[in-house]
Amino acid sequence: MRAASISDFRELARRRLPNIFFEYIDGGSYAEVTLKRNVADLEAIALRQRVMRDMTKLDMSVQTLGQTLKLPVGLAPVGMAGMYARRGETQAIRAAAGAGVPFCLSTVSVCSIEEVAATGTAPWFQLYMLKDRGYMRELLARAKAAGSPVLVFTVDLPLPGARYRDVRSGFTGGTPLQQMLTQLKDGIAHPAWTWDVALNGRPHTLGSVQAAATSGRRVTDFLSWIAQNFDRSVTWKDLDWVRESWDGPIVVKGVLDVDDARDAVRAGAQGLVVSNHGGRQLDGVLSAVAALPRIADAVGGDLEVYMDGGVRSGLDVLKALALGAKACFVGRAWAWALGADGQAGVARMLDILRAELAVAMILTGCANVRDAGRELLDRP
């Protein structure tokens, strides 16, 4: 099957990946109410169709934080992407660079910041705050030395949410022997993935934090290490500590509340991502797109406002822009595409988003994405 939509990549990834990794990408926390809301609330927004306008020239570019994006889209940080395709983060950033969009590297990536930057494009770097501040200072220095232009400080994961699918799949929980047998069975059932990733995609460690995560041999062992080492004591004052080692733009990721957005402005952030971590943290909260308009209205003139969560098409991108986002970040979409067909899959996924965005712009009479506003939406 040739993928024609984001949902097609999901199905292709489901077929190719071992169940434990597919469920890890696909799942959310608890009953997955927020995960579903992210998608459903975007689907429920109606675009306002307009006709008989000259749409000969379309401009999809945006300028943000000193960069020009050819498309108002970025690849959000996704943990352990190197388990979805061979050295997966390097494949994904090559696809992103080819499309002229940013790639944000997760702290818990398989490929290190240095390996990813060696592709010729420095990624935005996503920071989780660990208890070992000495190592955090070293990690920030490495990101800076690698040329990362933007730091994305994720603030909604003081501990991992309860993700039932990971327990059911055997990714977490159970004894080490049970986990090993489950993973072995999964690998045998997916020979193409086994050859590409399990045998030829090593080493399977968290490249950027490998020196700090001294316990555990397999990538799945690091999940318990993460839960034990993420710092729950972080406050807005810690942004001052981050700035001691980072002099570039800081984007705060994981904001859903207007008061938190105002705190981000007061703390001196240059941007924020309206996000509920893809429905993987606190279940039952607002969808990202439901929280977006109030936050954009409150602080959009003070910093850059981005959104992630539930974006499954170029139409969704235009809806988010109309509600105040400067750009959208996609997570599952590129992870599914990477799992389906590596770099080529991610490139194809971005081409699909671009083509769908073009249709949405033409049929709403929006020739320039920078002009997108709420007049594009059909609202009561």
Tokens 């927020």 locate to 34
Say whether pLDDT at 204 is over 70.
Answer: yes
Residue predicted with more confidence, 182 or 276: 276
| Burial (CB count <10 Å: 0-12, 13-18, 19+), residue 67 | middle
Residue 130 has a pLDDT of 82
Residue 210 has a pLDDT of 75
Model confidence pLDDT, tens digit, residues 360-377: 999 999 999 999 999 999
- Which residue is catalytic, options 16, 37, 277, 326? 277
Residue 129 has a pLDDT of 86
d(CA 233, CA 256): 19
Quick check: 93 and 148 in contact, CB under 8 A?
no
Model confidence pLDDT, tens digit, residues 214-241: 555 566 666 666 667 778 888 999 999 9
Model confidence pLDDT, tens digit, residues 149-160: 999 999 998 888
Q: What is the set of domains in the chain, with CATH numbers? A: 6-364 (3.20.20.70)
Cα atoms found within 13 Å of the Cα of residue 183, Cβ hemisphere only: 19
* 23-32, 176-185, 248-257, 293-302: the lowest-pLDDT one: 176-185
d(CA 336, CA 345): 8
* 28-42, 72-86, 227-241: the lowest-pLDDT one: 227-241
* 21-25, 77-81, 167-171, 302-306: the lowest-pLDDT one: 167-171
Tell me the one-letter amino acid at 283.
Answer: D
Token pair for residue 123? 């990624």
Model confidence pLDDT, tens digit, residues 39-50: 999 999 999 999
Q: Can 277 be counted among the known catalytic residues?
A: yes
Report pTM: 0.95
Residue 364 has a pLDDT of 98
The C-alpha torsion from 209 through 160 and 271 to 311, rounded to 10°, is: 110
What does residue 226 show for φ and ψ, rounded to 5 degrees? Answer: -60, -45
Taking CA 225 as the corner, what is the angle to CA 216 and CA 287, rounded to the nearest 5 degrees?
135
Q: Which helix (H) or strand (E) holds 130?
A: none
Model confidence pLDDT, tens digit, residues 250-302: 999 999 999 999 999 999 999 999 999 999 999 999 999 999 999 999 999 99
Residue 170 has a pLDDT of 84
Taking CA 99 as the corner, what is the angle to CA 93 and CA 105, rounded to the nearest 5 degrees?
25
Average pLDDT, the chain: 93
Give the residue-averaged pLDDT of 9-22: 96
What does residue 239 show for φ and ψ, rounded to 5 degrees? Answer: -65, -30
